[in-house]
Amino acid sequence: MFGFKLSVLFFAVFSLSKCSGRFVYSCKYPPSQWCDSEDIAAECGVLEQCMKFNVTKPNADKVNVSLYYESLCPGCRGFLVGQLLPTFIMLSEIMNVDLVPYGNAQEKEDQGKYTFICQHGEGECQGNMIETCLLDKLGMDALFVIFCMESGTDVLKAAQPCLAIYNPEITWDSVMKCVTGDQGNKLMHGNAVKTNALKPPHVYVPWITINGEHTDDLQNKAMTSLFSLVCSLYKGEKPAACTLGLKKETTSYCMK
């Protein structure tokens, strides 16, 4: 079974509790604001951790991490849940994340509309589309809803409750309007164009680029410990979090 492969540190920092297959947290602020002030940190029960991990001011270009993936690929889910989100929470001051849900899908054009065939079937196309629409509406905050979806047993069924937990201000109807409408169709075409423009072209997912570059070495390092890779590539003063490590993860791929 796909496990909740979160690092011990991540648990320690964000005190997430597992609740009927989904993660919930216990204060009214989104995770991105938890360390914004001592009051918020205290209310969310992470004061000590925020003090410890409060990062230094960034003074160099952020490390750009792009993930080309598909919503139902086990290796993609493992990377998103076990590496990408924990790393982003710890290092958001020194990294940018770009998610491109499409992966090994294929598209066909018919009179200006696109249809998609996905590696893990129709459900995966639906998952990719939901996540694409969430990213369009929420920007990087969508990472939390996507994490919640990908860490549940049923990615699609988790979508609506996950949105309600993390972004109750966004209605499910508005997401579905994007998913079933022209907007989602155009956005997914954009993902296809972006994925097909990769150099070198991707041969599996999750496919990672770092500052726009993909090499076997960067891929292996990202899959083993994205956290260490981002810390090592950041040219500015390293944030305090970088002096600690995250546990290594095992990797798996979905071949094209």
Ligand X SMILES: *[C@@H]1O[C@H](CO)[C@@H](O)[C@H](O)[C@H]1NC(C)=O
| Separation CA 142–CA 22 (nearest Å) | 16
Give whichever of 38 and 109 is closer to ligand X, judged by the CB atom.
Answer: 38
CB atoms within 10 A of CB 204: 17
Question: What is the nearest approach in angstroms of ligand X to the Cβ of residue 232?
Answer: 12
Q: Position 153: which residue type?
A: T
Residue numbers at the binding site for ligand X (CB under 6 A):
35, 37-38, 41, 50-51, 54, 61-64, 96, 211
Identify any residues that bridge with 67 across adjacent strands, giving them in sequence order.
99, 208
Question: What is the nearest approach in angstroms of ligand X to the Cβ of residue 83?
Answer: 19
Question: What is the nearest approach in angstroms of ligand X to the Cβ of residue 159?
Answer: 29
Give whichever of 72 and 94 is closer to ligand X, judged by the CB atom.
Answer: 94
Asked if 225 contacts 253 with a C-beta cutoff of 8 angstroms, the reply is: no
Tokens representing 147? 């994490």
Give whichever of 36 and 182 is closer to ligand X, judged by the CB atom.
Answer: 36
H-type alpha helices, the chain: 8-14, 38-43, 47-53, 74-79, 85-91, 122-138, 142-151, 155-166, 172-180, 182-196, 216-233
Give whichever of 93 and 136 is closer to ligand X, judged by the CB atom.
Answer: 93
Give whichever of 123 and 236 is closer to ligand X, judged by the CB atom.
Answer: 236
Question: What is the nearest approach in angstroms of ligand X to the Cβ of residue 96?
Answer: 6
Give whichever of 165 and 198 is closer to ligand X, judged by the CB atom.
Answer: 198
| Separation CA 226–CA 218 (nearest Å) | 9
CA 244 to chain centre: 21
Question: What is the nearest approach in angstroms of ligand X to the Cβ of residue 54?
Answer: 4
95-101 and 63-69: which strand pairing?
A: parallel
Residues in Cβ contact with 12 at an 8 Å cutoff, skipping those fewer than 6 apart: 49
CA 98 to chain centre: 8
Question: What is the nearest approach in angstroms of ligand X to the Cβ of residue 50?
Answer: 4
